[in-house]
């Protein structure tokens, strides 16, 4: 593949940044700054994933140039030419493979570094049918996570009267998790005949999905005693006398942004507080990222995985057994999608995403 000069310039900048971070890590003064040390170590490892392949690419490109020079030399030795001709195809294949991998990492490297996300599923328009659809989405993501070795943990739920869910908050962890599930952020619509529909009429309901990279300890600077107001109360509802009488429910309110998180699922106040803080940190990280990148909102709207909850990204049409992804304007077999077989869909979205990002590189 032809390498764009802007692409090579970006890689050179990454090499320079990698060396800069390495020098800072080696400074003796860093020994007493544990938080900064962790942050720099993560940055060094992230950049290093691109530096080594880039060095190998430079080496292979040099070998290709040398082989082409030998072949083009009219006075060159025949044996050397024959050897160069035999090695050249394999070198070109390796160069293409390295360049493709580097381009993919350059475009989605930040996503690749995320190994933990908070996923929020909420029933939208459609009443109980929307709540049941939210439950179907939960099963779909649980199945997909299980098939790919991801750890899926439900942190908080709000049930509906007929067995559906008004809201689900879950944590999903594992390598490449954001690149696999980051495209799910947005509006999901379902068209089907509800179980409660006696006339056989097709109803349209909706649910929204938000996918937030879970903040690492070094990502969000939150002073929990000063920046956040904590309210403690009895959880209430089913679960026995302990749940109803002991103050275990936690509500957190971030003073500066007004963002709130309530957690009452666990019988332990400590566990509820820990889960609430994880969700709060993820939401704050997302809030500040959206604010800091407001000037690029027009470009971001065209990108996959923007997390815009008002954007209708997909329709699940049961009467016609098809799932339509509106970003791709393409259909996929419904049975496979709702069963969590999302590989074909995710692969197509990643390819489309890459094309969009290349345009703004």
**Rounded to the nearest 10 degrees, how much is the dihedral formed by the CA atoms of 61, 66, 71, 74?**
140
The side-by-side arrangement of strands in the sheet containing 228-234 is 228-234, 247-254, 260-263
Which CATH number covers residue 122? Answer: 3.30.70.1660
Q: Are residues 92 and 153 in the same domain?
A: no
Cβ(140)–Cβ(340) under 8 Å?
A: yes
Q: Are residues 62 and 200 in the same domain?
A: no
CA–CA distance, 2 with 95 (Å, rounded to integer):
10
Q: Are residues 54 and 198 in the same domain?
A: no
CA–CA distance, 354 with 342 (Å, rounded to integer):
18
- 300 found inside a domain: no
Q: Are residues 98 and 122 in the same domain?
A: no
Q: In the predicted model, is pLDDT for residue 295 greater than 70? A: no
Q: In the predicted model, is pLDDT for residue 310 greater than 60? A: no
Confidence of residue 308 (pLDDT cuts 50, 70, 90): very low
Domain final position from 67, 97, 112: 112
Tell me what pLDDT residue 290 has: 74
Confidence of residue 92 (pLDDT cuts 50, 70, 90): very high
Q: In the predicted model, is pLDDT for residue 322 greater than 50? A: yes
Domain final position from 91, 112, 133: 112
- 187 found inside a domain: yes
Q: Are residues 201 and 339 in the same domain?
A: yes
Per-residue tokens: 50: 């691109």
| Backbone torsions φ then ψ of 309, nearest 5 degrees | -75, -15
CA–CA distance, 141 with 153 (Å, rounded to integer):
11
Q: In the predicted model, is pLDDT for residue 84 greater than 70? A: yes
Lowest mean pLDDT among 124-128, 197-201, 269-273: 197-201
Q: In the predicted model, is pLDDT for residue 309 greater than 80? A: no
- 292 found inside a domain: no
Q: Are residues 102 and 169 in the same domain?
A: no
Tell me what pLDDT residue 350 has: 87
* pTM summary value: 0.67
- 193 found inside a domain: yes
Cβ(326)–Cβ(352) under 8 Å?
A: no
- 290 found inside a domain: no
**Considering the chain, what percentage of its residues have pLDDT values greater than 90?**
40
Q: Are residues 94 and 29 in the same domain?
A: yes
Per-residue tokens: 235: 């959880």
Tell me what pLDDT residue 292 has: 59
What does the pLDDT average to over 139-158? 95
Domain final position from 80, 112, 144: 112
Confidence of residue 167 (pLDDT cuts 50, 70, 90): very high
48 CB neighbour count, 10 Å cutoff: 14
Q: Are residues 92 and 51 in the same domain?
A: yes
- 241 found inside a domain: no
**Considering the chain, what percentage of its residues have pLDDT values greater than 70?**
84
Tell me what pLDDT residue 256 has: 86
Where do we find the tokens 């942050």?
39
Tell me what pLDDT residue 39 has: 77
Cβ(88)–Cβ(71) under 8 Å?
A: yes
What does the pLDDT average to over 51-73? 92
- 136 found inside a domain: yes
Q: How many domains does the chain have?
A: 2
Q: Are residues 319 and 336 in the same domain?
A: yes
Q: Are residues 128 and 196 in the same domain?
A: yes
Please give the mean pLDDT across all residues of the chain: 83
CA–CA distance, 341 with 140 (Å, rounded to integer):
8
Tell me what pLDDT residue 137 has: 97
Among 20, 242, 265, CA closest to 250: 265
User: Strand runs (DSSP E) across the chain, as ranges?
Assistant: 116-123, 151-159, 165-173, 186-192, 203-213, 228-234, 247-254, 260-263, 312-317, 322-325, 330-333
Q: In the predicted model, is pLDDT for residue 213 greater than 60? A: yes
Q: Are residues 184 and 330 in the same domain?
A: yes
Q: Are residues 312 and 353 in the same domain?
A: yes
Full domain range(s) for residue 355: 116-205+308-359
- 278 found inside a domain: no
CA–CA distance, 49 with 47 (Å, rounded to integer):
5
- Provide the residue count of the chain: 361
């Amino acid at each position: 593949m032809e390498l764009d000069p802007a692409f090579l310039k970006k890689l050179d900048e990454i090499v320079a940044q990698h060396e800069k971070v390495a020098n800072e890590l080696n400074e003796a003064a860093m020994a007493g700054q544990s938080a900064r040390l962790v942050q720099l170590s993560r940055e060094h490892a992230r950049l290093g994933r691109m530096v080594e392949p880039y060095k190998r690419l430079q080496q292979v490109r040099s070998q290709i140039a040398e082989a082409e020079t030998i072949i083009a030399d009219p006075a060159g030795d025949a044996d050397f030419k024959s050897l160069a001709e035999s090695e050249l195809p394999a070198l070109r294949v390796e160069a293409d493979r390295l360049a493709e991998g580097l381009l993919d990492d350059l475009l989605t490297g930040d996503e690749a570094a995320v190994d933990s996300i908070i996923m929020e599923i909420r029933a939208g328009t459609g009443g109980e049918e929307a709540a049941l659809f939210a439950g179907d989405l939960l099963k779909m993501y649980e199945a997909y996570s299980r098939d790919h070795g991801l750890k899926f943990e439900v942190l908080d739920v709000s049930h509906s009267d007929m067995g559906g869910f008004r809201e689900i908050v879950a944590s999903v962890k594992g390598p490449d998790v954001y690149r696999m599930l980051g495209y799910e952020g947005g509006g999901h619509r379902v068209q089907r005949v509800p179980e409660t529909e006696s006339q056989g009429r097709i109803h349209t309901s909706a649910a929204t999905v938000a996918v937030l990279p879970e903040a690492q300890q070094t990502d969000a600077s939150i002073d929990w005693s000063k920046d956040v107001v904590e309210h403690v109360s009895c959880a209430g509802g089913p679960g026995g006398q302990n749940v109803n009488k002991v103050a275990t429910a936690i509500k957190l309110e971030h003073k500066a942004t007004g963002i709130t998180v309530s957690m009452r699922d666990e019988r332990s106040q400590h566990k509820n507080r820990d889960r609430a803080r994880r969700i709060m940190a993820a939401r704050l990280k997302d809030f500040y990222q959206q604010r800091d990148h407001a000037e690029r909102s027009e470009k971001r709207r065209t990108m996959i995985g923007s997390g815009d909850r008002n954007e209708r990204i997909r329709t699940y049409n049961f009467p016609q057994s098809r799932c339509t992804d509106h970003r791709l304007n393409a259909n996929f077999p419904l049975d496979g999608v709702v069963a969590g077989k999302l590989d074909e869909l995710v692969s197509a979205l990643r390819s489309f995403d890459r094309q969009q990002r290349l345009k703004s590189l």
